[in-house]
Structure 1
């Protein structure tokens, strides 16, 4: 069967500054954390050992062209552009980002630029990070500087990538710095992130720039174990906390009333100011990026909550392992392709069918060298993964969902937070010793699909 996509569909991939650039002046929370706890990082490999985009941006963009990308998302590093978060702009960073943006445009590859992809400048974290409203204002200034510097050539902006992840990682589950376990502080971080987002949108609108502004959310459909009311309620609360806590403010300009009521009943609401509501209402976006990797399967709790334990989302649900599920064993994630369709249908039916695109979808695999044939990684499993997701995406589009593109994570094997290079995600293999780049089979397949704006599947 042939799957053809709409004209001008965005074919491309996504990456981030911190994971690819290297050679940075300003310190981020990642640099600070790695210097103090290298044991928390796979094989002790830290954020300086990237895929060297700072040196190889020109040849890398040629490779994007070879893969027939018509669009590419990366981020600007706040710590590179403004090393202390609030002071002088670094002219070398301006030169670098100007060159990258100009080269992408020259090659016919539309730049999609994210302002914040997990990389808080350490100087900002030192004063409390997103817990401090002064950092919200500093971010708004940084965003405005980016719009002024690059807004004439960048027409697709994203305030944040996966803003729930620093909340979960840094303030709930101890997998990002500052390794806090405190729901109220997590709620404050999430709330201030929404305020920061809204201030950036406000600045963008005030500047009357030619493009559009949005946000990238990792949407994880919450599926109940059964239709038992207790399971359905558990899935609803998981959805409120992990999806709708950001989705509703950016698309509806307000928080879900039942989320507010729930947190209020447990005395976990962040401190709000009367004018915040007006600001959040002004943060409605033009374009939603959707990152989809795995579903969340939940059931009601089978055991009572320990009253001495810290308040956590898991007070309201347990995770559920669906029998017979398909797994990516390297990442420990379920592979569930219809989830991408369910996300689009939910956006269509419950959020007014916003303009959106798949901004990340990917499969990390360990030790891909074992699949080398004639000097090239034959990652048939990745081609199957992409084509299965694209077929469900195609179904959503054919049923009226307003999805405008598909970006894969990622273009080239890159450094991945605490996992470093354990799992590889790229269309292009990276040799860490030589920095040599070699296109994988999936890269060739994607190039053909993008060129034809379609693919065939049995």
Structure 2
């Protein structure tokens, strides 16, 4: 354990009752996609029609089999120092037809998971939507449909009533901008639409669904807190020239404040509205939408941080005939000499997590928040397996530690950070990338009956948790 007995290392201690844990999602860990009444999500359907869009044609059917191994996995959470853990409830498992009858076998499963977590002194955090639209709801238009908003709110109400006696921390959506970007702008996820105005409608309806779910939570008088998980990617200009600073500000409006402002301040950024109005790209807004958004701010924010966004002023004009994209207003910028994770292609810049914390402190009324995801995906980790049979992932330990130093600094300067959750507890299936990049504190061996083995980082993480720092 690191210490400062000889004055060679600084000690980082975190506040009392700090959350140490990790995050995952139902569709990426549970597997059992055709078991006990669950019906297809968009991922199951897309894989059935276009398996070639998935890495090595590995689909979502089995994933890491948490559905059958949750007791073993929660025991391993305890062994890796967890005092809290976030996962998601699959809508397609709990209410297989999207609306109507609740699946009792799903209720039993989620009850068992919650009870097992609590029995191991691990606080359950539950998220309601992690990219996994039930296919029957997508056929009704997905988040473009008002009918789907109402179905989601009813799903949320069921979850609150079924599990709210034990679950104290609820989150409506994980990274709600991702289905907008990947599904409606950049042709990365199903339904593979490329249409900014439809994407804007999806974004607005998602925020309305979120606000209505918050409203229901408050009316039920649940003993707990409700929030949302946002992936914040601060935008940095190439330099301090006015044109580059403006480009970074515009990128921030689209990719951060478009969701952050309405869920915290109750309104969309005026500058973003102006940009979209000028281009006739504003979504349809119904009479009560803005009031329900205004009247239902979150209690707590989850912040997922992986990488910054770097931009510069647009260097060449875009054809007037070309369908609008945010990048028509700025260009990406690759900073010379940046540190990068070569497996994922993402920049590693630890101090950005501090900038996020100070921004929340200074511009968002120091809202209570926690780092809800941060992690490092690495391909081919088996080559780091030692003679004792576990993976020595020192690079992951360094990654976590260097980010935590900046989290510690932000807390010391008054940011209201309540915890740190790593992505993720165990290696899991990841959307179109399957198991290409591994993120876990625990290895899942696909070639050996999904055997779980704690990595060096998992052993280290337990020490961090036990010592409330390092």
Instruction: Report TM bin, short chain.
Output: over 0.9
Deviations 1:246-293 (A, max 9, x none): 000011011111111111011000001121111001230000000000
Residue aligning to 1:2? 11
Deviations 1:313-351 (A, max 9, x none): 011011000000000011010000011000000000111
> Are 1:92 and 2:101 matched, yes or no?
no
Residue aligning to 1:159? 172
* Kept after mapping to 2: 8 A contact 1:57/1:100: yes
Mapping of residues 284-363 of structure 1, within 5 Å: 284-363=297-376
Contiguous gaps of at least 5 residues in structure 2 = 1-9
* Kept after mapping to 2: 8 A contact 1:46/1:420: yes
Residue aligning to 1:446? 461
Residue aligning to 1:82? 95
CA distance in 1, matches of 2:272, 2:125: 32
CA distance in 1, matches of 2:111, 2:205: 30
CA distance in 1, matches of 2:160, 2:12: 37
**1:183 alignment partner, one of 171, 196, 218:** 196
Could you tell me the TM-score, scaled by structure 1's length?
A: 0.99
3-state SS, counterpart of residue 424 of structure 1: coil
**1:125 alignment partner, one of 129, 138, 146:** 138
**1:393 alignment partner, one of 407, 423, 430:** 407
Deviations 1:21-62 (A, max 9, x none): 011321000000001111110000000131100000001000
Contiguous gaps of at least 5 residues in structure 1 = none
* Kept after mapping to 1: 8 A contact 2:185/2:195: yes
CA distance in 1, matches of 2:296, 2:312: 33
CA distance in 2, matches of 1:450, 1:35: 42
- Where in structure 1 do 4 or more consecutive aligned residues deviate above 4 Å? none
Deviations 1:363-400 (A, max 9, x none): 00000011111211000000000000000000000000
CA distance in 2, matches of 1:198, 1:67: 35
3-state SS, counterpart of residue 2 of structure 1: coil
> Are 1:421 and 2:430 matched, yes or no?
no
Deviations 1:86-131 (A, max 9, x none): 1211000000000000110111000000000000000000010000
Residue aligning to 1:22? 31
Residue aligning to 2:48? 35
CA distance in 2, matches of 1:296, 1:283: 29
Aligned length: 455
CA distance in 1, matches of 2:57, 2:212: 37
* Kept after mapping to 1: 8 A contact 2:30/2:62: no
> Are 1:204 and 2:217 matched, yes or no?
yes
CA distance in 2, matches of 1:350, 1:179: 35
Residue aligning to 1:144? 157
* Kept after mapping to 1: 8 A contact 2:88/2:128: yes
Deviation at 1:245, TM superposition (A): 0.6
Mapping of residues 156-305 of structure 1, within 5 Å: 156-305=169-318
* Kept after mapping to 2: 8 A contact 1:249/1:283: no
CA distance in 1, matches of 2:62, 2:439: 16
3-state SS, counterpart of residue 376 of structure 1: coil
CA distance in 1, matches of 2:296, 2:180: 19
CA distance in 1, matches of 2:67, 2:171: 21
CA distance in 1, matches of 2:295, 2:169: 18
> Are 1:430 and 2:430 matched, yes or no?
no
> Are 1:404 and 2:418 matched, yes or no?
yes
Deviations 1:430-450 (A, max 9, x none): 011311000000001101000
Deviations 1:150-202 (A, max 9, x none): 00000000000000000000000011100000000000000000000000000
Q: How well do the aligned residues superpose, as a CA RMSD in angstroms? A: 0.6
CA distance in 2, matches of 1:249, 1:321: 30
CA distance in 2, matches of 1:153, 1:265: 48
